[in-house]
Amino acid sequence: MKAQVRLYTRPGCHLCEEARAAMLDADCADEYQLEEVNIDDDPALKVNYSLKIPVITINGSEAFIYRLTPAEFRQRVRAANRA
């Protein structure tokens, strides 16, 4: 089963764009299922993550906040797929 990756984001977030680019640069897109969640669409998420995005979870656990590198992301996805 592929790792379930969720990216908490909002429109206009430059750090979110950088995180998305790092995920693509990791060259492992076929190894995970991505769901992008706009925190502005959910009042509870907006309160919880308003100053903390981007947040990336892998299989429900927070894996990255603010920044990540392609190598770190690839490593975490592959570890999640082995678990």
Check if the beta carbon of residue 76 is closer than 8 Å to that of residue 46: no
* pLDDT tens sequence across 70-81: 999 999 999 999
Would you say the pTM of this structure is higher than 0.85? Answer: yes
Q: Which domains does the chain have, with CATH numbers?
A: 3-82 (3.40.30.10)
- Give every CB contact of residue 82 below 8 A, 6+ residues apart in sequence: none
pLDDT band at 1 (very low <50, low <70, confident <90, very high): confident
Check if the beta carbon of residue 49 is closer than 8 Å to that of residue 2: no
Distance, in Å, from the CA atom of 26 to the CA atom of 69, rounded to the nearest integer, reads 8
Residue 11 pLDDT: 95
pLDDT tops 90 at residue 83? no
* pLDDT tens sequence across 11-40: 999 999 999 999 999 999 999 999 999 999
> At which residue do the structure tokens 């950088």 appear?
18
* pLDDT tens sequence across 35-60: 999 999 999 999 999 889 999 999 99
Stated as kind and residue range, the H or E segment containing 79 is: helix 70-82
